[in-house]
Amino acid sequence: MKNVKNIIIGFGKGGKTLAKFLAQKGEEVLVVEKSDKMYGGTCINIACLPSKRLIIEAGNGVDFVDAVNGKNDMTSMLRNKNYHMLADEENVTVFDGTAKFMNNHEIAVTTVNGQIEEFHGDRIFINTGALPVMLPIPGLMESNAILDSTAAMDQTNLPKKLVIIGAGYIGLEFASMFAEYGSEVTVLDLHDNFLPREDDDIAVEIKHDLENSGVKFELGVKISRIDDHTVYYEKDGVTTTKVADRILVATGRKPNTEDLGIENTDIELTDRGTIMVDDYLRTNVENVWAIGDVKGGPQFTYISLDDFRIIKDQLYGDGQRRVSDRINVPYSVFITPTLSRVGLNEKEAKSQNIKYELKKLPVTAIPKAQVLKDPRGLFKALINPANNQILGVTLYGAESYELINQISMAMKMKIPANILRDQIYTHPTMSESFNDLFK
């Protein structure tokens, strides 16, 4: 058994960044990755970048098959770049295989040819990410039509008829994208409420725009079974069938801890199956940390990167960075146009009895939106009337994915709304909408 100072299980964003940092500090690092198709992690291979590439190509009118081929070229290039970013480091060993804990600080790694090598890690960082959730629907796993989010981006032909199970953010991104490529898209969801976390006026606009793009919604349904290409679902006591070329399951993701051998350790899991960590990402086992989606919380690559910063600060800083410092984390949903949010919306402010002044601006009033030929959407801001601080902003409209970062920084730096209102912006830009939004 070989002793290694640092073992990182998984080649994701936080883990790979930590590996590079530690190696440049002269520390020995072993990175274990079970798939040579996942160098660099989920984001660049099967999630953020490939999906956004396909979304952009749909908007540009690119043929679906050509777009998939271009996406594959991009991910291949990025995967190779990420591999060499670590493998070329003198102090890093990238080891292909599946890791399983034997005890708190020892792992056995099984390679693709069945060989097993054992390692002891002084420090171990679990960075195994998350996997798509497959609901226990009769016939689902036996169907030849079923796709998860990864397989949906690797289709060699555009599905003419696509059923998406799940009207969450991931499901809506795929619904918007495939409808733009020309698929006939139907979205099925268990819940009656559409986007229940968002304000009702925002949700109504999003649903209206998606329906205008060709997406059909069946909400408040119970899927009783799937018979190959046919979905059987019930609503109000009536059974309906829907035949599709492909059926995409977009019902969330779960922590990837299966087959990791956690049962052989003292590492504790939460009731949701995530690895339990404290405010510094430490598990209950000394010198074992968890990074990224496997620990629960927001499943964003930028959160995984910030996880790295927290651990870096413990090992080579003053140890002050904490998970609880992450307040007002922004997010974007890449439907067309994009939905972006940071901080409170009206629903949350009302439920918490927080006083606010509401600012609203229809996107059609923004000159740049007219230039972009997409005046759909609504911008909303909640302002604290006592001190003019921004409590939260919801931006549904073109280029909101860029604007939300400006708002997030303003909130972090406690810049009052009137500063954004009176700022001089270049023209025509979407950011100059702040002049009007914060009036």
Task: Please check if 171 is assigned to a binding site.
Answer: yes
The pLDDT assigned to 370 comes to 98
Q: Distance (Å, rounded) from C-alpha 9 to C-alpha 26?
A: 19
The pLDDT assigned to 196 comes to 97
Q: Which domains does the chain have, with CATH numbers?
A: 2-132+253-325 (3.50.50.60), 146-249 (3.50.50.60), 331-437 (3.30.390.30)
Q: Under DSSP, is residue 302 helix (H, G, I), strand (E, B) or coil?
A: helix
Give the relative orientation of helices 169-181 and 48-59 as an angle to the nearest 10 degrees.
Answer: 40
Q: Which residues of the chain have pLDDT under 50?
A: none
Task: Please check if 172 is assigned to a binding site.
Answer: yes
Catalytic residues: 427
Q: How many CB atoms are closer than 10 A to CB 31?
A: 28
The pLDDT assigned to 266 comes to 98
CA 219 to chain centre: 23
Task: Please check if 252 is assigned to a binding site.
Answer: yes
Pairing of strands 222-227, 230-235: antiparallel
User: What's the token pair of residue 358?
Assistant: 């509401």
pLDDT in tens, 331-370: 999 999 999 999 999 999 999 999 999 999 999 999 999 9
- In 3D space, the residue among 141, 245, 251, 146 whose CA is nearest the CA of residue 188 turns out to be 251
The pLDDT assigned to 403 comes to 98
pLDDT in tens, 362-381: 999 999 999 999 999 999 99
Pairing of strands 339-343, 331-333: antiparallel
The pLDDT assigned to 283 comes to 98
The pLDDT assigned to 312 comes to 98
Cβ-contact 132, 155 below 8 angstroms: no
Q: Distance (Å, rounded) from C-alpha 139 to C-alpha 398?
A: 40
Q: Distance (Å, rounded) from C-alpha 148 to C-alpha 150?
A: 5
Q: Distance (Å, rounded) from C-alpha 61 to C-alpha 38?
A: 29
Task: Please check if 58 is assigned to a binding site.
Answer: no
Task: Please check if 273 is assigned to a binding site.
Answer: no
The pLDDT assigned to 351 comes to 98
